[in-house]
Amino acid sequence: MGGLLCYPGILRRLEGSTCILSTEVDSCKITPHYCKIQDFDESWYQQFHIIVCGLDSVVARRWINSVLVSLLQYTDGELDQSSVIPLIDGGTEGFKGSARVVLPGMTACIECTLDLFPPQITFPMCTIAHTPRLPEHCIEYVKVLLWPKDNPFGGDECAIDGDDPQHISWIYEQSLKRAAEFNITGVTYRLTQGVIKHIIPAVASTNAVIAAACATECLKVATQVAHHMNNYCVFNDADGIYTYTYEHEKKSTCLVCSQVPQELSMAPTDSLQNLIDKLKDSPQYQVSVTAYTDNISVKKIELKAKIKKSNLGLSDGVQLAVADVTSPNSIIFNLRLSLPMDVSSPLS
């Protein structure tokens, strides 16, 4: 059993838990790793029979999901089920939680249900710059505008580290000054850290229920003592207790598990920036677009030069390969250029 963690404090707690578990259960071996999940290649993940996740972001979930799908093997178009590594995923958000069992290539994957995840909360730039009303607006102002302007810790545009107390303290102090200018109360160190790191308060009871659900599903998948969950469970104990299990169906147009290029419709007059914005803003795609190229091998610098021009410079039917942090592999799109319908013109 391996544990992947990114924060030293959590690592220390896990090392303590590892010591206790090893003492109580002689056959239990846990190896903690202090790193990002992306630091290991596909061959490392291939050694496991089951992967259980309690990740803290949608990006991380999409990445591990893509890795497991990429490990699938096919013979004459038929899935080799011995290459399937079950993914058991659990997550909580305050009093709400969910657990799911994913059999890559067989059941709905994480990407199939991407539109279920709520969009990240953002604030309009005009609000945080001119008319802040909430303590969060003041913190965002310091984070987005004041930090890059003042560069308080020197260096080449030092990035904000949410785990660095000095960074959080500076943002907190500046946020207090900003809040005082607009008579806004409620800025605290804890809130500042929460806004910077997008922290959602953890509830022990919710965590316990979801952890138990994941452990139970892991036992069922490993021993076949009972049929595993089919395939998604929601839990809510905000007002009483409510739980429900239902089956998510595979999405025929899934970016990851459908194994077919996606159709991407654009107007001939759209710019490359329009295309990138569509990929970023669409609930279906939610990609960050860290690199872009096409099957004509256009140089990257040429694409950058065209990014704001009023036409893509690409032909209908061309395939675009999009690299994204949510996937270890490029996402392939078939570009379809079509003129928008003129609703003002009369029908013939």
Q: How far apart are CA 231 and CA 249, in angstroms?
A: 9
Q: Which of 126, 138, 218, 254 is catalytic?
A: 126
Residue 175 token pair: 């946020």
Answer yes or no: are the C-beta atoms of 95 and 235 closer than 8 Å.
no
Burial 104-129 (b: 16+ CB within 10 A, else e): bbebbbbbbbbeeeeeeeebeeeebe
Query: Residue ranges of the alpha helices (H) in the chain?
Result: 8-24, 42-45, 58-70, 125-130, 135-141, 147-150, 165-181, 189-197, 204-223, 272-281, 300-305
Picking from 290, 270, 194, 219, the residue whose alpha carbon sits closest to that of residue 49 is: 219
- Find the length of the chain: 348
Residue 316 token pair: 């209908």
The full DSSP string for 265-317 is: EE-TT--HHHHHHHHHH-TTT-----EEEETT---HHHHHHTTTSSS----TT
The yes-or-no answer on residue 126 being catalytic is yes
Answer yes or no: are the C-beta atoms of 218 and 88 closer than 8 Å.
yes
Known catalytic residues?
A: 126
